[in-house]
C-alpha cells in the first residue's frame, strides 16, 4: 500500500468514527500533533483524543482540497467539518503525515487556527 493509500484509508476510519480501525493503522510510536493543542503519542492516546473529538459530534467529515506526496510524506489541505444537530463547524486544516516502512502512520500533524474552531464552538 502506498503512503497516500495508507493516509486515505486512515482518514476513512477516522471520519467513520472507527477508533479501533484507525488505531490499527498507526505505529506504536505514532506522534499525533494538533499543533495549537499539543501532542499525543501512540495508538491509545490517539483513541482517547479522537474519542473525545468524535463523541462530541453527530457527524465528522474531512473534505480534501489538495493532497501531495513525496516519498513517505503525505500532506493535505482540508476542511474538517463537525456536525452537532443541524449546526456544522468548518475548520480549515493543513495536515502532515508520515508512513513508516510497515505502512503504518507514524506522524499526523495538523495545522489550524484555534480561534477559528473555538469561536464556532461558542457561537
Site residues, a copy of itself (CB under 8 A) = 35-36, 66-70, 73-77, 92-96, 109, 111-116
Residue found under cell 516502512? 101
- In whole angstroms, the minimum distance from the beta carbon of 94 to a copy of itself comes to 3
If the CB atoms of residues 101 and 115 are measured against a copy of itself, the closer one turns out to be 115
| Cell output for 120 | 464556532
- In whole angstroms, the minimum distance from the beta carbon of 98 to a copy of itself comes to 8
Q: Which of 4, 44, 31, 9 is nearest to 108 (CA)?
A: 31
- In whole angstroms, the minimum distance from the beta carbon of 85 to a copy of itself comes to 27
If the CB atoms of residues 43 and 95 are measured against a copy of itself, the closer one turns out to be 95
CA atoms within 13 A on the CB side of 87: 8
d(CA 34, CA 81): 16
Contact 94, 76 (CB under 8 A): yes
- In whole angstroms, the minimum distance from the beta carbon of 26 to a copy of itself comes to 18
If the CB atoms of residues 57 and 111 are measured against a copy of itself, the closer one turns out to be 111
Amino acid at each position: 500500500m502506498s503512503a497516500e493509500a495508507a493516509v486515505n484509508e486512515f482518514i476513512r476510519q477516522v471520519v467513520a468514527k472507527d477508533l479501533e480501525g484507525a488505531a490499527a493503522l498507526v505505529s506504536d510510536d505514532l506522534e499525533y500533533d494538533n499543533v495549537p493543542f499539543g501532542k499525543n503519542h501512540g495508538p491509545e492516546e490517539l483513541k482517547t483524543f479522537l474519542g473525545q473529538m468524535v463523541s462530541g459530534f453527530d457527524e465528522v467529515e474531512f473534505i480534501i482540497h489538495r493532497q501531495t506526496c513525496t516519498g513517505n510524506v503525505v500532506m493535505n489541505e482540508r476542511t474538517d467539518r463537525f456536525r452537532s444537530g443541524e449546526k456544522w463547524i468548518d475548520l480549515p486544516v493543513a495536515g502532515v503525515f508520515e508512513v513508516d516502512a510497515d505502512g503504518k502512520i507514524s506522524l499526523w500533524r495538523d495545522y489550524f487556527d484555534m480561534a477559528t474552531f473555538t469561536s464556532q464552538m461558542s457561537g
